[in-house]
Structure 1
Amino acid sequence: MSALVVAAHPDDEVLGAGGTIAAMAAAGRPVTILIVAEGVSLRHQGITLEQARETCREAARRLGVTDVRFGGFSADGTLIADGPQSQVVSLISEALQDVRPETVLTHHAGDIHADHRLLARSVVYATRIMASGTVRRVLHFEVLSSTEQQTRQADTFVPTVFQDIDAFVDAKCHALEAYHYETFDAPHPRSTHGIRALAGYRGVQVGAGAAEAFVLGREFVGAATWTGGGA
């Protein structure tokens, strides 16, 4: 089963689904990572666009993935949400047609970051008629320092799907360390300490050593599944 990970900014893919990405890659599943806007990295002095993209590629390599793509949005550092959603939907739709994934992982619609919310809605829109394409499952992940900072005024992240990442927490931390200009020391949530703490907590929820949590957005199950014939 192939997967497409759609992330707003560099390091979102690691924080949100790094352990799951590593687990899928280790199992031989094709994984493609789409970073919609890498412009956020350019706010750091001395970081060029190509350096930002190479950092994304290095983080992906540490997770076992080589197919990393870039949307090129917000090169001037502005929010994706400041532009028309139709352009984002088109970008995602093109990636879906090219990659033909069965699973799509992306942000949660209740996130505190406007870009994350827009991307979640855009993925839902691009995958809205699931029987007409290859996508069978859409999962929404949580991003430390962003999703958990939202208040109850919005849609709260309440996970319904958990991935065992006990064997891949180290790989996730190693990948985050590639983004040295986006990480902080403990107790900041965007840190290796934060990753291990959240993975341990999500693991406790389901009786595993460590886990990543997702909200199931939509799933299409073929009729043959109910008769034992497979999806």
Structure 2
Amino acid sequence: MGTVVALNAHPDDESIFMGGTLAKLAAGGHRVVLVVATDGMMRGDDEPDPRRRLRELDGAATELGVTEVRWLGYADSGHGRDLHPDPPGRVRLVRAGVDEPAERLAAIARELGADLLIGYDEQGGYGHRDHVAVHRIARRAAELSGVRLVEATVPREAAVRLLTVTTQLRLTRDHDLDAARTWFTPAADITHRIDVRPFVAAKQRALGAHRSEINGPGRVARLMRILRRLPAWLIAPVVRTEHFIEPGTTERSDRLL
């Protein structure tokens, strides 16, 4: 059995982009270690519970069968135009550059004897600055450690179709649909398609562990609540497959290990 180290930007990203795959790997007997780059918190010293989202991540990891969770120690950089000042005792991820966090991740991979490292695609999925940073950090950590790398993504065409529907339902906005045309990865470039149908319910439970996000305001939180509450059999046709690309190869596969 192998050891998988999966890097994500924020608590809840693991459930959204690769939760079924992580659960499938864990159920198959592989050791799965989840590494989160940031604490997911945007506020400074006025945040009443600065580790809340990390605790929620622990709950999500339990639902997915993850062996261990580690935090690289950085703060959320946010998704708005302006980059907020660093909170006390933490540096926002994008201010840390690539080399330092990559060294930390590579050290974890070496310590664990990792067989596989998971990062994000070149677009950082939907373009969040921390997601783009995770792409670069994982690439560099793979170079430093020599560990095989795959990158989580979504077929761009599927994202556009989904955003078309959610925009019509007014769950998302027109500019989200326009942006989606540059998100993720074209379907023709995807190398790994993982069937996660038996693990959709686990993915939903993991998503539900991120209560502070799901119960928050806004259209995205509303969409997450809908996905969490619908029966697993109903949403399985939509989330039945998770997608990855492996840099340097065009070979297709239905498994990562």
Identity %: 24
Structure 1 stretch 27-36 or stretch 104-113: which is displaced more? 104-113
Structure 1 stretch 67-76 or stretch 16-25: which is displaced more? 67-76
The structure 1 residue matched to 2:241, chosen from 195, 202, 211, is 211
More helix by share: 2
Name the CA distance, whole Å, in 1 between partners of 2:115 and 2:133.
22
Partner of 2:136: 121
Partner of 1:193: 227
1:86-105 matches, cutoff 5 A: 86-105=99-118
TM-score, normalization by structure 1: 0.75
Closer/same/farther in 2, CA of residues 189 and 105 from structure 1, 3 Å limit: farther
Name the CA distance, whole Å, in 2 between partners of 1:142 and 1:41.
26
Gaps of 5+ in 2: 77-86, 161-175, 252-256
Letter in 2 for 1:67: E
TM-score, normalization by structure 2: 0.68
Q: Residue 36 of structure 1: SS of its match in structure 2?
A: strand
Instruction: Let me know the Cα RMSD of the aligned residues.
Output: 3.4
Closer/same/farther in 2, CA of residues 169 and 107 from structure 1, 3 Å limit: same
Closer/same/farther in 2, CA of residues 173 and 89 from structure 1, 3 Å limit: same
Partner of 1:180: 211
Pairwise CA distance, 1:93: 1.3
1:49-198 matches, cutoff 5 A: 49-74=50-75, 76=87, 79-110=92-123, 111=125, 112-128=127-143, 133=146, 135-142=147-154, 150-153=179-182, 156-158=185-187, 159-183=190-214, 188-191=222-225, 193=227
Name the CA distance, whole Å, in 1 between partners of 2:235 and 2:130.
22
Name the CA distance, whole Å, in 1 between partners of 2:51 and 2:222.
28
8 Å CA contact 1:109, 1:118 repeated in 2: no
Partner of 1:224: none
Pairwise CA distance, 1:181: 1.4
Gaps of 5+ in 1: 203-209, 222-230
8 Å CA contact 1:187, 1:193 repeated in 2: no
8 Å CA contact 2:142, 2:149 repeated in 1: no
Closer/same/farther in 2, CA of residues 81 and 50 from structure 1, 3 Å limit: closer
Pairwise CA distance, 1:104: 1.5
Deviations 1:157-186 (A, max 9, x none): 533311111100000000000001112688
8 Å CA contact 1:4, 1:103 repeated in 2: yes
Name the CA distance, whole Å, in 2 between partners of 1:215 and 1:177.
27
Equivalenced residues, count: 207
